[in-house]
Copies of this chain bind each other. A is one copy, B any other.
Amino acid sequence: MPKVGMEPVRRQQLIEATLQSVAELGLQATTINSISKKAGMSSGIISHYFGGKQGLIEATVRYLLSSLQRSLLQRTVQGCTPEQRLMFIVEANFAVVQQQRDTTRTWLSFWAHSMHDAELHRLQRVNARRLYSNLLYSFKQLMAPGKAREAAELSAAMIDGLWLRAVLNKADDAQFDSAQDLAKRYIQSLIQQFGV
């Protein structure tokens, strides 16, 4: 039944099935069949829409990245202070987790794989720089440029480090909240230390 306009729907369904499968089984054990079965479609459709497994994986990572971006933009409405905006950045980075419990593991799988996949590595660098840029932009409004750069770098590492340790320890929601709090308090201490 050839319906028009089904493409974006099908693509999104497949991306979400991929997220689920990678979270459940890991990237290694995720197959074109485990995905298509979860999506309730045939295996052939993956090649049809994404050119192959690789393409679907990359599209899924791009979707995760844009989710993170949207998550941040939703929060940073106009008129918030630089300090508020920094807190929102932290929240956005941890929120991706809480929206979809499973998604966290998925990130780690993708980043590990990015070491051996050029396109994924490119996406990972975009993501790492975006976090740094977002932090830098706000820190610059609060301190000297040199200090701001160091603050941004340290904050980015602290956010990633807390997040990594939480994921690897299969932390529950409370532990994720606690990690998020530590990150926020760390940023506030940086502002106090370096701030004008």
Contacts and interface: CB of A to CB of B under 8 A. Distances in A.
Contacts of A29: 116
A153 B124 contact: no
A115 B108 contact: yes
Contact of A158 (B112, B116, B157, B179): B157
A189 B190 CA distance: 10
B124 A168 contact: yes
A161 interface: yes
Interface in A95-123: 105, 108-109, 111-116, 121
A168 B114 contact: yes
A170 interface: yes
A68 interface: no
Give the interface size class of chain A: 35 or more
Interface string A133-170: 00000000000000000100110111111101101111
A115 B160 contact: no
Given A124-B168, A128-B168, A113 B26 contact: yes
B162 A157 contact: yes
A26 to B, nearest CB: 4
Nearest to A192: B193
A73 interface: no
10 contacts: A109-B115, A115-B167, A115-B168, A115-B170, A154-B158, A157-B158, A157-B162, A157-B165, A164-B164, A189-B193
